[in-house]
């Protein structure tokens, strides 16, 4: 029997996931760098009662082809801009972790959790592209890492990502929930005994802490990652609250889910909830023929058939609901849908797929929680440092802020 605990996310990228979607009549390519464009998309997702939106980001151009969209805004900053304009939907920007500092990301995502009143997350992304490494000049990344010619180097990048997430989580906990006193009469704003050094030492990072941002409203914002291969499945199992996978069908979805559960057990997290969503690129219309015609037209502009790392679905919202419930029966917690063209396919999701799933008793009819963790059925975690007897505390508030910035990559 279908249950209403199925989750839906949408992945926002430019004018849509098809490279020629910007040429659609409904597209708004001139607005891509305007806040209102992103605010409208996220508002539509919220009207559809979706759990969350992810906002794509990379350190390189999407394509070298001048006929395709090139350039993008910073996902975290976009998220911070649109978050106060919404009330319920979770907002999960992408953060490339390979060439950035976890200290900076921790306070940016903590800030996003504050401005969204507890609806923030972060999708951590590993960069394996030499061109992106060259933008920073601090390390080299060998070409062709994804062809399995250097599995050790690829594993090193994903191990670094796991360390990055660990630093994020420790920094979010480095302020206890009641560390801020704010007592004007006594002049005490912060209880220094409730700020903690995290003293993380890893292969790539050495971070003392504490953070300069108090513990986020959710305690721990949701951490997500996209996984295509063993090293990424391990990252999800070790470090994430939410994993995105790219099944071909329901049987493949069950296999991928089993792999992640095995990695959870190996990491000692077998008792924790780690959601796994299946990614699907969607081209939706009232009839399957209309959806196919639209994709064929976009493919014609592209010059070849559009393909993706994820399953490409072309059909009606009702047919997509059939697939969703098949994958739900295989054990997935939900779907992350990648609209082929915006806003058309997003509206087909919110105004077509969602009502269809509701009719089948498989999706909520209203928001039932105020935080992203709440929407996903994740409890607010206890602070890892609050149970300690404060063995070491910063000597003064100014000193704590100085030590928090003493970290190296």
pLDDT in tens, 284-324: 999 999 999 999 999 999 999 999 999 999 999 999 999 99
pLDDT tens for 101-111 read 999 999 999 99
* Cβ pair 349, 339 in contact under 8 A: yes
pTM of the model: 0.91
Is 405 strand, coil or helix? coil
pLDDT confidence tier of residue 3, bands split at 50, 70 and 90: low
Token duo for residue 352: 């077509």
pLDDT > 90 fraction of the chain, expressed in percent and rounded: 78
The answer to whether residue 406 scores a pLDDT higher than 50 is: no
pLDDT tens for 344-370 read 999 999 999 999 999 999 999 999 999
Average pLDDT, the chain: 91
Q: How far apart are CA 103 and CA 397, in angstroms?
A: 18
Residue spans per domain, the chain: 7-156+213-375
Q: What is the mean pLDDT of residues 197-203?
A: 94
Per mean pLDDT, which range of 142-151, 155-164, 274-283 is the poorest? 142-151
**Residues 6 or more apart in contact with residue 100 via CB below 8 angstroms:** none
* Closest listed residue to residue 96, CA positions, set 136, 69, 64: 136
Q: How far apart are CA 286 and CA 315, in angstroms?
A: 8
* Closest listed residue to residue 276, CA positions, set 197, 329, 333, 319: 333
**Residues 6 or more apart in contact with residue 335 via CB below 8 angstroms:** 7, 8, 9, 277, 278, 279, 280, 324, 327
pLDDT confidence tier of residue 140, bands split at 50, 70 and 90: confident
Position 145 scores a pLDDT of 65
Position 148 scores a pLDDT of 65
Position 190 scores a pLDDT of 87
Token duo for residue 128: 């394996």
**Residues 6 or more apart in contact with residue 241 via CB below 8 angstroms:** 121, 220, 222, 223, 224, 273, 274, 275, 373, 376, 378
pLDDT tens for 44-101 read 999 999 999 999 999 877 676 767 777 889 999 999 999 999 999 999 999 999 999 9
The answer to whether residue 407 scores a pLDDT higher than 90 is: no
* Cβ pair 332, 253 in contact under 8 A: yes
Q: How far apart are CA 158 and CA 126, in angstroms?
A: 7
144: left (phi over 0), alpha (psi -120 to 50) or beta: left
**Residues 6 or more apart in contact with residue 228 via CB below 8 angstroms:** 245, 246, 309
Q: How far apart are CA 335 and CA 337, in angstroms?
A: 6
Task: State which fold the 7-156+213-375 domain adopts.
Answer: TIM Barrel (3.20.20)
Position 71 scores a pLDDT of 81
The answer to whether residue 176 scores a pLDDT higher than 50 is: yes
Position 403 scores a pLDDT of 35
pLDDT > 70 fraction of the chain, expressed in percent and rounded: 91
H, E, C per residue of 228-296: CCHHHHHHHHHHCCEEEECCCCHHHHHHHHHHHHHHHHHCCCCCCCCEEEEEEEEEECCCHHHHHHHHH
The answer to whether residue 395 scores a pLDDT higher than 60 is: no
**Residues 6 or more apart in contact with residue 220 via CB below 8 angstroms:** 169, 172, 173, 241, 373, 380, 381
pLDDT tens for 49-59 read 999 999 999 98
Give the distance, in angstroms, between the CA of residue 134 and the centroid of all CA atoms in the same chain: 25
Q: What is the mean pLDDT of residues 108-123?
A: 98
* Cβ pair 90, 222 in contact under 8 A: yes
CA distances from 219 to 61, 274, 345 (A): 34, 17, 34
pLDDT tens for 258-286 read 999 999 999 999 999 999 999 999 999 99
Q: What is the mean pLDDT of residues 152-173?
A: 96
230 versus 132: the higher-pLDDT residue is 230
The answer to whether residue 409 scores a pLDDT higher than 50 is: no
Position 399 scores a pLDDT of 34
């Amino acid at each position: 029997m279908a249950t209403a605990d199925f989750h839906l996310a949408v992945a926002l990228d430019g004018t849509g996931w098809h490279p020629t979607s910007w040429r659609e009549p409904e597209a708004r390519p001139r607005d891509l760098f305007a806040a209102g464009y992103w605010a409208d998309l996220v508002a539509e997702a919220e009207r559809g009662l979706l759990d969350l939106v992810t906002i794509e980001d990379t350190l390189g151009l999407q394509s070298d082809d001048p006929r395709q969209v090139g350039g993008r805004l910073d996902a975290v900053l976009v998220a911070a801009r649109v978050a106060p304009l919404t009330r319920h939907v979770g907002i999960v920007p992408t953060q490339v972790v390979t060439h950035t500092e976890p200290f900076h990301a921790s306070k940016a995502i903590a800030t996003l959790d504050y401005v969204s009143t507890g609806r923030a997350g972060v999708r951590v992304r590993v960069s394996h592209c030499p061109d992106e490494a060259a933008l920073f000049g601090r390390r080299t990344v060998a070409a062709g890492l994804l062809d399995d010619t250097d599995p050790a180097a690829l594993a090193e990048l994903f191990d670094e990502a796991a360390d990055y997430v660990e630093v994020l989580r420790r920094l979010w906990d480095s302020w206890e929930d009641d560390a801020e006193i704010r007592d004007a009469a006594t002049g005490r704003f912060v209880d220094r005994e409730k700020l903690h050094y995290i003293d993380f030492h890893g292969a790539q990072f050495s971070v003392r802490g504490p953070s300069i941002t108090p513990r986020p409203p959710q305690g721990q914002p949701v951490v997500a990652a996209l996984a295509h291969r063993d090293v990424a499945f391990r990252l999800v199992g070790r470090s994430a609250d939410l994993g995105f996978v790219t099944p071909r069908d329901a049987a493949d979805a069950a296999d991928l889910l089993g792999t992640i559960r095995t990695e959870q057990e190996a990491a000692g997290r077998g008792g924790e909830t780690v959601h796994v969503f299946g990614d699907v690129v969607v081209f939706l219309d009232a009839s399957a023929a209309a959806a196919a015609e639209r994709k064929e037209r976009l493919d014609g502009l592209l010059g070849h058939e559009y393909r993706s790392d994820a399953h490409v679905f072309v059909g009606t919202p009702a047919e997509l609901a059939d697939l969703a419930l098949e994958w739900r029966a295989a054990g997935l917690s939900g779907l992350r849908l990648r609209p082929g063209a915006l806003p058309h396919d997003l509206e087909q999701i919110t105004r077509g797929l969602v009502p269809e799933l509701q009719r089948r008793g498989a999706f909520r009819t209203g928001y039932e929680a105020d935080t992203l963790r709440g929407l996903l059925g994740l409890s607010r975690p206890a602070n890892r440092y609050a149970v300690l007897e404060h063995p070491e505390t910063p000597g003064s508030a100014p000193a704590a802020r100085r030590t928090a910035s003493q970290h190296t990559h």
